[in-house]
Each structure stands twice: as C-alpha cells, then as structure tokens.
Amino acid sequence: MLDLSTLNPPQREAVDCTEGPLLVLAGAGSGKTRVITCRIGHLVLHRKVAPESILAVTFTNKAAGEMKERVRELVGRGRTKGMIVSTFHSLGVRILRRDIERLGYKRNFGIYTTSDQLGLVRQALREVSDDGRKVDTEGILWRISGWKNRLIPPDRVQPRLNDPDELLAATIYPRYQRLLMACNAIDFDDIIMLTVRLLQEQPEVLDHWQERFRYIMVDEYQDTNASQYLFVSLLAKKYRNLCVVGDDDQSIYGWRGADVGNILAFEKDYPGCRVVKLEQNYRSTGTILEAANHVIRNNSVRTEKRLWTDAGEGRPIDLVIAQDDEEEASQVVERLQMERYRHNLSFGDFAILYRTNSQSRAFEEQLRFEDIPYVLVGGMQFYERKEVKDALSYLKVIDNPRDEQSLLRIVNFPRRGIGDGTVLKINQWSLEHDCPLLEAFGRVEEIEGVTGAVREKVLAFHRLVEESVRDFRHAGNLAARVKGLFDRLGLEEELYRTIEDPATARRKVENVAEVINSLAAFEERIPGATLSGFLEKVSLMDEDRFAGKDKKEHGKDAVTLMSLHSSKGLEFPFVFLVGFEEEILPHKRTVEEGMPIDEERRLCYVGITRARRHLTITRCLNRKKYGKLQERQPSRFLEEIPGRLLQVHEGSVKKASTEEEAEALAQDFFARMRSMLQQE
C-alpha cells in the first residue's frame, strides 16, 4: 500500500496536486524521484486514473528503467499495464511506428547509426563536391544534427555566407534527407523532429495521443532542448495535466542544446500553474549545503530556493592549496588514504571530480602508483585516448625507429599527403627487400609506382623522423624538446583543423598538452630521466590493465574519477573537487569568449552537492602547461564560499626518489595515521 505519510509537506503537496500544470523545483538531493514515483502511485491507487493515461518521460534508458521498477514496487506489476515510462526518443519511435506513413515513410523504417549516417553524407558529397578538397564528414553531420535539434528543416536553413563549411553542410542537408527517405530510414535526431512534425501537421494524430496521455510527467525538465520542449507542449495542450520536475540550478548541458529558459518560463507558459519547491536535502551536511547556496545565489537569472538539512553541520570543507598539479594529485591520494583508514571506508566511497577530462592524467598515475583501484567514468583512460596514442607514437618511433606499428600510425598524422596506397607499396617493398620500414621510406626513389610529388613528401617525412631521432639521443630537457617537436609538427593546429566541434578539438588539444606535462613530471621525479624510461612507465600502466590488476575497477571497491558533467545525478560520501582555479572552473573558453558565467557556476554547484559527508576542494598555485609551470589564480567561485566554512591546508608533499625515501615516507604516513586515530 502506498504510504504518503513519510513525505515531507512540500513533497506531499507535489504528490497531491494531480490536476493542472505543476512545476516542481527540486533542489539537489531533495528526493525528486521519490516524488515522481509516489505521484504516479497516487494517481493509480487513490485517484483511480487508468495506467494507460499516464506518461512519464526522462532522459536516459537507465533512469526510465529505474523509475518504472520503483512504480511497479509501489502499485504492483498488474497495475502498470499500459503505462508509458520512457525516454523522449523511445516515445517518439512509438508514435512514429503508428503513423509515420502520413509523412511518406513506411512503418518498418530503420534507424541509422552514426556509421550509416556518415556513409550517406559521403554519398551526398559525391553529388555536389568535385573540387578534390578533403571534407570533414563528421563536421557536416554535426551541423545537420544541430539544425534538427532546433527543428530547422533543410529548406529553412540560413547558413552564414562567410563560413564555407556551413554552406557546404546546408547544401548536403536536403540531399542527405532525401537519401535517408529513399532508404526508408531516419536518424536519431529525426525521431523528435519528425514526431513534432507529425503532431503539428496531423490533428487527428495529435488528438489520439492527447487523449491517451491525460497525465504527463517530465523529469529533468531543465535539460530539455527546443524540440523536446515543443514535443511536450503539444501533448499536454489539451488537458494541461503536466507536471515538470527539475532544477534550474543544475542546468549544465547548454553546450548540447539544453535551454534552461524552458523551466524558467514554465509559469509564463502555463498561467496559474502550481509551483512547489523541494528544498530539504537528504544527502549532504549543513556545511556543504551552505557553501552550495552561497555560490549559486550569485547567478543572475534563477528561481530563488535554498537547500537545508536537519542532518547537522558536519565537518568544515577542506581547502588544499598545492604547489602544482603533481602535488595536487599526491595530496588528494594521501588524504583519500587517511580518510579511508580513519573511518574504515571502502575505495568506492570516494570520488574525484574535475572540469575537463584532461585533468584525470595526474590522478590516474598517482592512484596506480599507490596501487589503488579506480574506475574512470565518461571517458577512456588517459593513455587510451586516440590523440594521446598518436602523440606517443612519435615518441616511440624516436626511441625505437624499428617500431613499425607506431611509424604507420604517424606517417600521415598530421596529414601530409601520403596516401594509404603509397604506404602499402612502401610496406610491401620493405618486406620483399627485408628492409626496415623507416629505411624503406628513405629509399622511396627505388620503389616503382610512387610519383615525384608524393616521393618528396615521403622523403620529407623520413628526414623529420631521422632528425628527431638525432635530437633525442641525449637525456635531459625532454619535455621542452617534445613540446618543440609537437609545435614543429603542428599537432594543435591539425586537431583544430580536422575536428569540426570546437569543444571536442579543445579537449583533444588539452590531452596532447597533458602528455608533455606528464613527461615534465616524470623528469622531476626521476633524476636523469630518459625517453625510454617514460615510455616504459606508460607501457607498464597498460601491462597492469592487461594482466588483470584492474579487475576491481569495475566493481564497488574503486575510487571514481569523472568530470563534473558526468557526476550529475550521483552522490558519494567523500568528494574531492579538484582544479578550483580560473580558466579551469570557470573554463577558459567561457571567460575568453565573454560568455555568461552562469552555467559554469551551476556546474560548480553540482560538484559541491555531490558530497554527502565531506568535501575537499583543491587548487594549485602553479600548473604545468606544455611542461612549464604557470601561475594560477583561485576560482572566483572559491571567493563566494564563506571563509568560516573552509579549513585551509598548505604545504608540500614529499616525493621519494629512492626506495629508502619511499619506505621512510610510508612509515611517516602510518605514524600520522595512528596519531589521528588515538586523538579520536
């Protein structure tokens, strides 16, 4: 039986309000999922609403599945028949399967994957482009996707005349759509776009679904984009029994089309709607919530609310000020260990959260050095990323010119006009003449079928590798020399040139820069460091993975590393929020481009409110960029947290360069640990 007496007054109000539009502003950790599921149960059990009249929409299949299961537990499996709890896209497919024939498609339409889509883009390109220039098909698809999410059909696109890539994408868009239709296929973005079109153009179809779904609930409403907003508005227009749940303070996906204005304008869109604020937090301590409240109240446009808890103040927030990013990682891992011993915790109780994925490198290395299991969420391990492997391949060839696998990886990165056919001929010639591949590149004039222009490009590549090998024969100053090599190669320019999405390109550039930072840190730690030693360290990290030493990483007993974006919706007893500096949080791009800082502040708010028992914030006085230390400024968000909530820790972490020093540091660590436990 559904017991509503356990709900607090605002939660109970949200559950009881079943008729008319309702906006539930649910602060972090305020029990919004419980409210949604109890509201559905209340409709079915107490208000006797037919289950098939209820629609609940959320953003991920996982969230939809969990919500569906919780509703079944509340009302019983037999009472959920016909009820729809799904994602926006699953709902769209359901509607299209019934009536897409009205738009000229057949009901058995296919949904194309990214590889299928790229194939169609290339086919469309062959119809319009014959100038021979290299075209970024992924970039074209990215632009088309953006237009579709804004509900802009091919005939209404207005490309910027000074942007040749956008002009080309606008030319390809109508051809791409015709090819999709000829294949009786749609892509992922079409699901919502075509569903909205169907509902707008076919009144009887709209009426059918409006009659079917008389009670509609939307979770994470602050994350809806233009097409999803219109989709919901059309379905709810007739009966207006629309309940949206969300938190404008946690709207952090503007970069992918989410519009926080949708939730902020709900009261205007639905005059007379009921507004319920869920402000009691069941997750965090009072200190953590006070810090979060002080930060987020500085946003200029938001709905006023203030999180509170009756769980007590808890400990002050630790603010760790490190000399540089390597010391930051050392401090975090040491404090993690001490908290674990102090409170008898598992590694799974800890999370390290950062603004950009490139920040994970130092923490990954330190955790591996301490043999601490971890899981990297929302991204590949640092040394598994493509751009990192490409950069390391240059270093591997310099260290071992006979590494032919790495040589083949770099022969046309950056692009230098040496095609696959040419490489195949050279490789075949090297096999026939029992000649190392690099030497074969230098003897390309002896190889038949390689034209003069291409031959010069091959010889230039051979000279580049040979000169680089000579340059790295001596130890010392490795990071600076690698930076010089990468600058000479133009790796940064290549990534920006070949990757259409600026945010993706920037992340990859940051990762390449982090390779240099890693090498600089290795030089500091190891006297007389060599390129071979650095590459050996990287290889041994891979060896640990392949040997099965990371089996715990995907279990519960592992430290979680993730970006702030990936952390939304999650919680951890102990959180380390790292890199609290200007140009990291808030991000450099936001500051330099003069963009509103509100979304970066919301991202900070999300990070703070992931912590349940204790929060540690870290920042560096200096941070490596391309291997050289640069002075850093504290994040403006740090100044928004009252000093009385912070306990500041400054000082250096000692680093061991010998086994004896490592043993001494270990003994010191455990002595401090015993002292701490005796004081409690």
Indicate which residues carry an active-site annotation. Answer: 32-33, 219-220, 250, 610
For 219-249, b where at least 16 C-beta lie within 10 A, e where not — what string? bbbbbbbbbbbbbbebbbeebebbbbbbbbb
Grouping H, G, I as helix, E, B as strand and the rest as coil, residue 330 is helix
**Bridge partners for 611 per DSSP:** 572
596: which 2 tokens? 């509103």
State the burial class of residue 20 (Cβ atoms within 10 Å of its Cβ: 0-12, 13-18, 19+): middle
The half-sphere exposure of 182 on its side-chain side, counting CA atoms within 13 A, is 9
Sole residue written with tokens 């009887």: 204
E runs forming strands in 94-140: 110-111
- Asked if 387 contacts 507 with a C-beta cutoff of 8 angstroms, the reply is no
CA gap 357, 366 in Å, rounded:
16
State the burial class of residue 182 (Cβ atoms within 10 Å of its Cβ: 0-12, 13-18, 19+): exposed
Other beta carbons less than 10 A from residue 405's beta carbon: 10
Q: What single letter denotes the amino acid at residue 127? A: E
Confirm or deny that 28 is annotated as ligand binding: yes
- Asked if 448 contacts 465 with a C-beta cutoff of 8 angstroms, the reply is no
- Asked if 282 contacts 30 with a C-beta cutoff of 8 angstroms, the reply is yes
User: H-type helices in 2-81, by residue range?
Assistant: 9-16, 32-45, 61-75
Sole residue written with tokens 């639905």: 270
DSSP string, 362-402: HHHHHHHHTT--EEEESS--GGGSHHHHHHHHHHHHHH-TT
CA gap 269, 145 in Å, rounded:
27
Confirm or deny that 27 is annotated as ligand binding: yes
390: Cβ contacts below 8 Å, ≥ 6 apart: 409, 410, 413, 491
CA gap 568, 623 in Å, rounded:
27
Other beta carbons less than 10 A from residue 525's beta carbon: 14
- Asked if 328 contacts 365 with a C-beta cutoff of 8 angstroms, the reply is no
Sole residue written with tokens 């007389």: 528
Confirm or deny that 31 is annotated as ligand binding: yes
Confirm or deny that 484 is annotated as ligand binding: no
Closest CA to 249 of 29, 87, 58: 29
Q: What is the largest CA-CA distance in the chain?
A: 87
Confirm or deny that 569 is annotated as ligand binding: no
Q: Strand order in 215-218's β-sheet?
A: 84-87, 54-58, 215-218, 242-246, 22-26, 274-278
Confirm or deny that 26 is annotated as ligand binding: yes
φ/ψ of 277, rounded to 5, equals -105, 125
Confirm or deny that 30 is annotated as ligand binding: yes
For 466-499, b where at least 16 C-beta lie within 10 A, e where not — what string? eebeeebeeeeebbbbbbebbeebebbebbeebb
DSSP single-letter state for residue 654:
P
DSSP string, 155-183: GG----TT-HHHHHHHHHHHHHHHHHHHT
CA gap 179, 128 in Å, rounded:
14
What residues are designated binding site? Answer: 26-33
What residues are designated binding site for ATP? Answer: 26-33
